[in-house]
Chains A and B, each alone.
Chain A
């Protein structure tokens, strides 16, 4: 039995300690917002937060998340309020198929915590996720917009 805190809820689960966090979330906890895209830490679709930092959960053993707080796309909105990054995503109509977007949004939230005013180069460096639909220019606009909202812009 291990105990895992996901989106503010603590779960006691019986899983192998080396099972990747992604598959514990999706199979054992029915948290399916984080997506599977490659399984080798190459695409970022599985990005979640562990202790407020972005990790690629397909390549992160669940044992390493024990005692830490895990947040997924489902846990991003607080008190029914969308997160600023989600609002910026809606304003810029970013998603196409949408499959990569939970990963991008989680990576962006983590980026803006560390770097509240990222340049285009900072964004390129920090967001190395793959979007096969090519929503990159909308993502760039939305990241800047989210930074502005978090900085107090209306």
Chain B
């Protein structure tokens, strides 16, 4: 892409943002926030927008990100606790009010259509603009594995500022010079160790103290909490059944709504007839909602049954009622051959000479649509009252939910409050606004009654915003040098719909930018003599969205499978070839070598078994995995063991990093072994776990996670980077075990 074109795209994004969502704050602000910002109760004093102390000696940290299992409450609270020198048992967490202070800047930086490898003034300018955008009209969002990366400086700074304030408060109260005081284990002490004041005793003493510039942050060698596997803050609630998820919200007068969405994508309900001529007992209303129809009553179970048996719906079909998967593949194949790339990128020097000593190696790969299937099905609770709209929802972006609720209800955004519950899984699905629109639509016709919209699993699987299906073709040119083949160039063409094209249109109403999704077009880390990428963006009515690791989830399979095929063609070991190609990439190399070493790469395995390796950098982290697979009968695939190495820069909580790697591996493995959404007559064929299955204990491999310390100071994400390498690692292991190369996901021996 040319420099001018890139700037035009950024300009387009900025311009669209200003026009479309100009009511978002237009002033850049200090991200520390005001001392009165954070929901202060009578026994509490705010130290800045992120931290407050209580008379009970507690320290409460603002967590504006969604806890969906990734440990974000714990990890973010650790950043504050570290600089504040608080004790871990003092720490509480609470959702702060909506404020620009809490918006996620990093998620916008990651959304830019560049490879993070690119540097130079254009990219830096783009990052700068995105940083401004994040603060100016950005969103409070959880996704893109950005939470800790985004909070790393602001939340540590908040802790340091809070420490400074408490020291000054104690100094004033005790009449001792500030330089004689320190915070140790969550209380103020004299340098000689004598106790001066607990935090609880300082609640009334911070009033009136002037703001001061933030003191310097600790050096990594001074960290006491960061880097330790501290226990998570949400565990007790989650083992006693007391954690409140979206579907557990109970408000006085609560009604439940079941929904049937349009069977075809993009369709709407036009009307309905009641088969019995009237509503049965327990059903209060039937409501046409965006994309479907809802039955609202005193029992969700009853409303579900009523929709099945008691209502006839007249549907306006969507624009492509005949869509089917074989037809889509044909269209994608045509695009692959003849499509105009939306993005072309080349690296290295073009080799134009041809000789009869050259051979080409070509391989095409496929990945299907995937549903997210968070274990908690989609839901949202809303109430519309005289003062405004209240929403309770497991969601990944309160900013977007608020905007969608306000637009649906026709009220200004400041009349909407959004309460984010625990999320029973997010994986990208809960950044979408379909549920909030439906819940507010129901609540509008039942004023003052909270209405909880819940989708059945079937609605969830059939009406997702899917991981795009994708097709790629790699081609390598090899040349015989003596009797050894040598690599001349590689090129990839790939076709997929773009979630980053669809998402802003669907959620905010921004104009479409026909760009491939950024993660799907990141540069490979390998020093190919010459590399060319042509990325085609397919049109389509199928909604596509952000699925854990987004474009990496399919392109890692394409790329890392092909590297293995290249290794065969070059008669090299797949690990050795990767190592040779990781020129000038010491971090990648160390991660790759760690995974291989820890997995016993090259040591013998029983017949019918094999190891496969794959490497992928994503969201600022580098992950390599070695899968050990056995195919005992030539038909069934058993993944026995996965060895994973990650370099995510500074580690906040190693226990959480390990858990996230295991989580990402299992999520990716479910997709690699079972995940496939197919269409017929414009409808999704799958509907529940029996036909869209997930890995269970019996299929779960033994996993070992190794944290690699390369001394890097940039912090990387951990929620998503564990997912991309597993599918290619397993496919490569199947090849090692059986000689069969599987080029389609999900992996099925019958396809080989």
Contact = CB atoms under 8 A, between A and B. Distances in A.
B240 A99 contact: no
B700 A99 contact: no
Nearest to B687: A40
Interface centre among A40, A73, A98, A125 (most CB of B within 10 A): A98
A10 interface: no
A94 B664 CA distance: 15
A3 interface: no
Given A36-B247, A97-B68, A125 B239 contact: no
Given A23-B301, A30-B250, A128-B696, A99 B663 contact: no
Contact of B663 (A77, A100, A129, A134): A134
A101 B238 contact: yes
Given A19-B301, A36-B377, A131-B375, A98 B662 contact: no
- Say whether chain A's binding surface is mostly helix, strand, loop, or mixed: loop
B71 interface: yes
Nearest to B374: A132
B457 interface: yes
A98 B424 contact: yes
Given A20-B301, A32-B250, A137-B700, A132 B238 contact: no
Contacts of B667: 132-134
- Say whether chain B's binding surface is mostly helix, strand, loop, or mixed: loop
B732 to A, nearest CB: 21
B325 interface: no
Interface centre among B69, B241, B422, B700 (most CB of A within 10 A): B241
Given A90-B235, A95-B238, A128-B698, A40 B659 contact: no
A140 B698 CA distance: 11
Interface string A57-84: 0000000000000001110110000100
Interface string A31-69: 011111111101101000000000000000000000000
A139 B670 CA distance: 17
B301 A98 contact: no
B299 A23 contact: yes
Interface in B675-698: 688-690, 694-698
A98 B69 contact: yes
A138 B698 CA distance: 14
A82 B240 contact: yes
Interface residues of B, number: 62
A124 B694 CA distance: 14
A115 interface: no
Given A43-B689, A128-B697, A139-B697, A97 B69 contact: yes
A23 B426 CA distance: 24
A105 interface: yes
A99 B376 contact: yes
Contact of B243 (A76, A98, A129): A98
B375 A43 contact: yes
B256 interface: yes
B648 interface: no
B425 A40 contact: no
A38 B700 CA distance: 21
Nearest to B241: A33
Interface of B: 67-71, 231-232, 234-245, 247-248, 250, 256, 298-302, 373-377, 422-427, 454, 456-457, 655, 659, 662-667, 670, 688-690, 694-698, 700, 702-703
7 pairs of A and B residues whose beta carbons are closest in the complex: A134-B666, A33-B241, A97-B69, A99-B424, A96-B69, A98-B238, A73-B241
